[in-house]
Amino acid sequence: MFDLVPAEGVEAETKSDGKSRGETELMWSSVDLVKAGWIEKDGTGLWSITDSGRCALEEHESATELVAEARHLYQEWDALRNEDKDEQLRTIIVATSKEEEAVRSAAQLFVDRGLKNGESAFAPGREVWSRGPVDELRAVFVDKPDFGSGDFVNKLKGQMALVSDDARLLMAELVCWQLLPMGSKTIGERKKTERVQTLLGYMDHPVQIPVEVSKAFKSGSFNPGTAMNQNLYDALVLIISLLNDWCNKSSEEKGTLLENAWAWRGLVQGLPGKSFQPNGIHWSTSFTRSR
């Protein structure tokens, strides 16, 4: 573009990044034009004018008038964006960092596949977040706790030997769901992965941990406190109780709970069983944040 219309005067001055002042100002001005719907960028450096852009050139006689209108349309777009943000803040807890966003993206698998469709978060199309597998886990895990000596995950091997492969997969995914938001200072990526892979290894036909989950395992988003991290049995009982309650709800009830984080928190806080207070934050908030 500047080969055809060379920058002159102040616009030709070179900035510290090697670009001319005119080139930099053009790039910033183009944002207004894009949000006004007058030009499109394909991501490779190619810009193209839209039909609305051609109409704008005909409607506005001067460049000053054209730029002013583009700025006005940008401000309208920005106001709508801020309204959307305000609405989001009333219904969900917004991620504040890349680490939290990675957790949210991974947790969305459990929401979309598991809670919404009753399918496996790891193996889409396989119905495991449903009444049958949940009842199996309640029978061998919730109703028959193993308080003997030994590692929690290793003890699960014996309990999972009595259930179907779908129930084993569900248990691995529920453990993963519990681990997902935990910060790396509480439990690191290697141990998270090792725990879930061990449970998947109890299956007759193991599946793989999704890439999104592996990425989220690198950081986490909060410190659950020692109570939840050490009392794994109680934590899993709560999660299985949650899913048991979930299976009894209508589609309308499920939709309401998934659309409103505060309603979801109310559901979790109302579950029977041990209450966790991770560093002053109720256990249910960990699920709300992961959503």
Total domains in the chain come to 2
Q: Does residue 132 lie in a domain region?
A: yes
Q: Does residue 1 lie in a domain region?
A: no
Q: How confident is the model at residue 221 (pLDDT cuts 50, 70, 90)?
A: low
257 and 154 share a domain?
Answer: yes
210 and 188 share a domain?
Answer: yes
Provide the token pair at 277. Answer: 């207070």
279 and 195 share a domain?
Answer: yes
132 and 181 share a domain?
Answer: yes
Q: How confident is the model at residue 185 (pLDDT cuts 50, 70, 90)?
A: confident
Provide the token pair at 151. Answer: 């590692």
Residue 271 is part of which domain span?
Answer: 98-290
CA distance 63 to 75: 18
> Which amino acid makes up residue 251?
S
Q: CA torsion sign, 107 to 190 to 147 to 143?
A: positive
193 and 265 share a domain?
Answer: yes
Q: Does residue 74 lie in a domain region?
A: yes
Domain boundary among 37, 66, 91: 91
- pLDDT (average), residues 233-249: 91
Domain boundary among 62, 91, 120: 91
118 and 223 share a domain?
Answer: yes
131 and 218 share a domain?
Answer: yes
Cβ-in-10-Å burial (0-12, 13-18, 19+) of 106 comes to: buried
- pLDDT (average), residues 110-131: 92
86 and 179 share a domain?
Answer: no
Q: Does residue 224 lie in a domain region?
A: yes
132 and 263 share a domain?
Answer: yes
- pLDDT (average), residues 106-131: 92
Q: Does residue 4 lie in a domain region?
A: no
53 and 150 share a domain?
Answer: no
Residue with token string 């917004």: 94
Model confidence pLDDT, tens digit, residues 58-76 = 888 888 888 888 888 888 8
Phi, psi (degrees; rounded to nearest 5) at 162? -95, 0
Helix (H, G, I), strand (E, B) or coil at 107: helix
Q: Does residue 2 lie in a domain region?
A: no
Model confidence pLDDT, tens digit, residues 12-52 = 787 666 777 777 777 777 888 888 889 887 767 788 899 98
86 and 141 share a domain?
Answer: no
- pLDDT value of position 88: 58
104 and 152 share a domain?
Answer: yes
- pLDDT value of position 122: 95
Model confidence pLDDT, tens digit, residues 104-117 = 888 889 999 999 98
CB 138 within 8 A of CB 240: yes
Q: How confident is the model at residue 290 (pLDDT cuts 50, 70, 90)?
A: very low
Domain boundary among 47, 68, 91: 91
Provide the token pair at 205. Answer: 């036909």
Q: Does residue 196 lie in a domain region?
A: yes
- pLDDT (average), residues 235-243: 91
- pLDDT (average), residues 164-169: 96
Dihedral, CA of residue 237, residue 265, residue 215 and residue 184, to nearest 10: -70
